Amino acid sequence: MSGNLFLTCLRLRFEEAGSWSEVWGLKTSEKEDILEQEDITSSASEINDTRVKPSWKQWLERAFLRKRSGTRAFGAAGSSLQLSPHSQDGILNVAERTGNSLNGVAVTTALASKDATWSPSQRFYFEFEVEVLEILVADTLEIGFVWEPPQANDLPEVAHQLPQSVVMGGDLPHTFLDGSDLGKVSGWRPLIHVMRTSVIGALLEVRAPRGSEAGSLLFKVYQDNSLRAERRCEPRSWHGSKSKPPHGVVDVRGCVRRVRLLDSSCLF
């Protein structure tokens, strides 16, 4: 009997109030919080669902690249960054932003090729871990490669302004070649997909011009062992420096505050 009375009172309150949220006494702000939380949960589920596990072929390729990678260190950094060693070996492999979101470009030392000198193409690879991440920031990192980088005092505010470079990232993410915008990146949006402890890898395959064949660059971005984006481009003019080993570039910008370069000893 008491159960029927409760349901009757509940029905009368609904008819009087006009909605269940008013029946339960939820304020407008509380309802918005609930809806917002549902959206966040839904978005997180969608992000997790988009993660693709690497195939055995991709895993072996990554293992080979990591095995051939030596210790990585930063050689120059913008005025908003502080470089420091992760361990007592003194290698400057940590870049942390201490100033505003600009002038956070960090450049590694020259990278070693993963292929024999006689090979028609040369591959260069580096990777890093995101150690500190901020939320509610509407911008994010850029990564890439640069040939003959400027000195620290002459580094631009953002990575894609570097001359003789190929860079990917930002929000919305674009690919840039020698400072020119090549268009949007599909399949990878670092502002959403990159999280704290994410491992980001950058692979560049360089094919120098041979006879009538134009030179080309194939740039791939990996996150947590999965290929997330790639772009092939042909520079209009092939500067001689592009036949030399490039340097890695990380723009510690927006939501990303600290990164640490990884080497083979960290992974195997």
Q: Domain map of the chain by residue range?
A: 56-262
Of 140 and 12, which is predicted with more confidence? Answer: 140
For residue 162, with 0-12 CB atoms within 10 Å meaning exposed, 13-18 middle and 19 or more buried, which class applies?
A: buried
What is the per-residue pLDDT for 46? 42
Q: What is the mean pLDDT of residues 47-69?
A: 52
Residue 221 is inside which H or E element, if any? strand 216-223
CA distance 249 to 160: 10
pLDDT digits (tens, 9 = 90+) for 163-175: 999 999 999 999 9
Q: Are 225 and 62 in contact (CB under 8 A)?
A: yes
Of 165 and 54, which is predicted with more confidence? Answer: 165
pLDDT digits (tens, 9 = 90+) for 207-231: 887 777 778 999 999 999 899 999 9
How would you label 28-46 residue by residue, b for 16+ Cβ within 10 Å and e otherwise? eeeeeeeeeeeeeeeeeee
User: Does the pLDDT value for residue 69 go beyond 90?
Assistant: no
Q: What is the mean pLDDT of the chain?
A: 80
CA distance 132 to 196: 6
What is the per-residue pLDDT for 212? 75
What is the per-residue pLDDT for 88? 84
Helix, strand, coil distribution of the chain in percent, nearest 5: 30, 35, 40
Tokens at residue 140, please?
């994010």
Of 178, 197, 182, 165, nearest to 229 by C-alpha is 182
Task: Please report, rounded to a whole number, the percentage of residues in the chain having pLDDT higher than 70.
Answer: 70
CB atoms within 10 A of CB 130: 24
User: Does the pLDDT value for residue 60 go beyond 60?
Assistant: no
User: Does the pLDDT value for residue 251 go beyond 90?
Assistant: yes
SS3 242: helix
Of 59 and 48, which is predicted with more confidence? Answer: 59
Which CATH homologous superfamily contains domain 56-262? SPRY domain (2.60.120.920)
Q: What is the mean pLDDT of residues 2-19?
A: 55
Beta-carbon contacts of 258 under 8 Å, excluding residues fewer than 6 positions away, are 94, 95, 96, 97, 130, 131, 132, 252
pLDDT digits (tens, 9 = 90+) for 113-129: 877 776 778 999 999 99
What is the per-residue pLDDT for 29? 45
User: Does the pLDDT value for residue 26 go beyond 50?
Assistant: no
Q: What is the mean pLDDT of residues 43-54?
A: 45
Of 263, 238, 237, 247, nearest to 93 by C-alpha is 263
Output the pTM of the full model.
0.73
Of the ranges 22-26, 88-92, 104-108, 259-263, which one carries the lowest mean pLDDT score?
22-26
Going by pLDDT thresholds of 50, 70 and 90, the confidence category of residue 34 is very low
User: Does the pLDDT value for residue 53 go beyond 70?
Assistant: no
Q: What is the mean pLDDT of residues 6-28?
A: 53
Query: Beta strands 256-261 and 92-97: pairing type?
Result: antiparallel
CA distance 183 to 179: 12
